[in-house]
Structures are given as structure tokens and as C-alpha cells.
Structure 1
Amino acid sequence: MSQITWDSSYSVGIQKIDEQHKKLINLINHLDAAVGKGQGSAMQGDLIMELAEYLMDHFGMEEALMDKYGYPQYDAHLQIHHSFTRKVKEFRDDIAAGSLSVSEEALVFLGDWLINHIQATDKLLGDYLREQGEV
């Protein structure tokens, strides 16, 4: 996977969400670099753990905003978050068990999922939150 570079087209127009998206991209890029340098499963596991923990914080913040403002697509958005979190936890658990190192396919999945989620689902959320007065 090539490194993901933040692009203004990824902005959802809510500063705290954009900042967290940038951090998620950075974490995926660090994981990609570790895999590219052949760093072992312990390092990859640490990075996946950090990514999983940060995802929980990020998704929690988004979900709190959706709840606060009565986002009409809350349930669907929540299910998307849960599905992705399960997948990241599977990667983390497999690495912790020593049965997997992060593959190129997993990296592409992580990067593609995040960018697609930002550009589709989170942009809609950003539009709604701005309409409600959140910046």
C-alpha cells in the first residue's frame, strides 16, 4: 500500500473529526511503514492495538455527536463502525496469537475503508452536524 496523504477533499467540515481522521491516517501509514521495513509481528501488533484503541475513541466521539444532535442515520452509521471495529480487532487478535502479520491486503483494506468511509458516510454526518450548528 502506498502512504495515504491527507487531502482537503477528505475534510468533513468538522475540525475535531478532521483532526481525528488525520491521526487515523497517520496510524495506518505507520503500520504500512512497519510492514514495509519488515518489522516483526510485535511491532505490528502494537500499532494495530494503538489503531484499535484510537478507533474506539474516534467512533465514540462521532457517536456522541450523532446522539447529541439526533442524527437520523445514527443506527446505520453505528453498524458501520461496529463492523469495522470487529475487523480491526480480528487483525489485532490474530497478530497477538502469532498467527498473522499484517499483509498488504490488510493494509489496503484499512486504508481504503477509512478513505471511503470518510468520503461517503462521514461527509454526510459532517453536513448534518454543520446544519445543526456544530463546527
Structure 2
Amino acid sequence: MPIMEWDDTLDVGVQAMNDEHKRILDLMNQINDAHEDGLTGGLVIALVNQLGQVTLDHFRDEEAYMARTGYAGLASHALIHKDLLAKYTAYADDTRRNDGRLPEKFLMFLKLWLTAHIRGIDMKYGPKGEALRQAG
């Protein structure tokens, strides 16, 4: 069962960011499915590593987008990204140390990331980008 399925409540109004969010969501769901299937080891570690890299790339792209559009909340958003990465890294390290066994709190963290960060914080930069596109 997926952690969450893509729906319009996750649409930030920026297609490139939506596509990256969909990729993050897909990887989170793959990690959750592997956990529910009782899988551990290299496959889970590979998924966790892949999610980490996709997330790093996404945060870089998202911050670059915000800079290009003059989004006033960039500095605080970048700090939130830094905090998310620190938490993610700690869970990922635990998973690697435990041969791909996921801490239960890791799955709760992933769901919170989707609901609080994408649905809440990321929604703030979308309308700014839309207003700039309409003005241009």
C-alpha cells in the first residue's frame, strides 16, 4: 500500500517541480512497499540511496527556481531543506547500519515530509512563479 498517491493537493503549479515531487513520491512508495513486503538488504539500501540523491537534486532545482523567480522565502525554505536532509540522512544511515531494515519512524517521517512540506511549504512558491509567468 503506498504512503500516498499523487493528487491535485500536491500540485505546486510548477510542472518541473511537480515532476520531481512525483519521482520522490514514487521512491517513497517503493521504500514503503519493500518494507511491507519484509524486504531488507541491498535493495532497500539502494532505494534509500536513490531517494537521497533525487532529493538532493530536487532541493537544488527547487532553490534555483525560487532564485530565478525572486521568491522572497528562499532563505527560510533552504533552511527547511537543510533540516529535512539532516533528518533524512540520520534515518538513511540507520537503515544502512541495520542491513536495510527501516526504522518505523522513518516511514512516518516520509509521510510527514509529503504532507507538511509539499502540501504546505512548497505551495508558497508556486503562485509566485505563476504570477511571474502571467506578467511575462
Q: What residue is the counterpart of 2:3 in the other structure?
A: 3
Q: What residue is the counterpart of 1:16 in the other structure?
A: 16
Where in structure 2 are there 5+ consecutive unaligned residues? none
Displacement after TM superposition at 1:100 (Å) = 6.8
TM-score (norm: length of structure 2): 0.89
Percent identical among aligned pairs is 29
More deviation in 112-121 or 90-99?
A: 90-99
Within 5 Å, give how 1:45-84 maps onto structure 2: 45-84=45-84
Inter-partner Cα distance in structure 2 for 1:99 and 1:76 = 35
Per the alignment, in what secondary structure is the counterpart of residue 132 of structure 1?
helix
Aligned residue-pair number: 134
Displacement after TM superposition at 1:99 (Å) = 7.1
Q: Which amino acid aligns with 1:82?
A: K
After superposition, give the CA deviation of every residue in 1:26-68 in whole Å (9 maximum; x if it has no partner). Answer: 1000000010111113222111100000001111100001111
Inter-partner Cα distance in structure 1 for 2:45 and 2:89 = 11
Which structure exhibits the higher relative contact order, with contacts defined as CA atoms closer than 8 Å and separated by 6 or more residues? 1
Q: Which amino acid aligns with 1:108?
A: M
> 8 Å contact 1:48–1:88 — kept in the other structure?
no
Per the alignment, in what secondary structure is the counterpart of residue 38 of structure 2?
coil
Inter-partner Cα distance in structure 2 for 1:87 and 1:41 = 21
More deviation in 58-67 or 86-95?
A: 86-95
RMSD (CA atoms): 1.8
Q: Which amino acid aligns with 1:103?
A: P
